[in-house]
Amino acid sequence: QVQLKESGPGLVQPSQTLSLTCTVSGFSLTSYNVHWVRQPPGKGLEWMGRMRYNGDTSYNSALKSRLSISRDTSKNQVFLKMNSLQTDDTGTYYCTTLGAFDYWGQGVMVTVSS
């Protein structure tokens, strides 16, 4: 059974760094890509970046200077780190496989506030 589950702090202070973990099961990170997608409250979906099956990464150009995605295949985990957080980074963050093999986590709500 394929599952993705996001975890991380619900509250982050402005200017600080967000660290999220996506723990997957039911498939191998060396076979499928994992993406991060976010959604501000009441708004649409924004693609943030991707960890490819071969370890390569790509990022949304609007976030590239602040964003880093990495993984630990032995733990079946993909990590997102984004620095210099501001209030408009508040939202729900999802990890997903996208594409024909398409599964999503439940999302984790992150609030940026002092």
Partner 1 sequence: DIQMTQTPSSMPASLGERVTISCRASQGISNYLNWYQQKPDGTIKPLIYYTSNLQSGVPSRFSGSGSGTDYSLTISSLEPEDFAMYYCQQYDSSPPTFGAGTKLELK
Residue among 15 and 106 whose Cβ is closer to partner 1: 106
Tell me how far, at minimum, the Cβ of 6 lies from partner 1, in Å. Answer: 11
Residue among 20 and 107 whose Cβ is closer to partner 1: 107
Q: Is the distance from CB of 57 to CB of 51 less than 8 angstroms? A: yes
Q: CA–CA separation, 71 vs 50, rounded Å?
A: 11
Name the pairing type of β-strands 108-112 and 11-12.
parallel
Q: CA–CA separation, 12 vs 85, rounded Å?
A: 8
> Helix, strand or coil for residue 3?
strand
> Helix, strand or coil for residue 17?
coil
3-state secondary structure 91-112: EEEEEECCCCCCCECCCEEEEE
Residue among 19 and 60 whose Cβ is closer to partner 1: 60
Tell me how far, at minimum, the Cβ of 62 lies from partner 1, in Å. Answer: 9
Q: Interface residues with partner 1 (CB under 8 A)? A: 35, 39, 44-47, 58, 60-61, 92, 94, 96, 98-100, 102-104, 106-107
Tell me how far, at minimum, the Cβ of 80 lies from partner 1, in Å. Answer: 15
Tell me how far, at minimum, the Cβ of 76 lies from partner 1, in Å. Answer: 21
Residue among 34 and 107 whose Cβ is closer to partner 1: 107
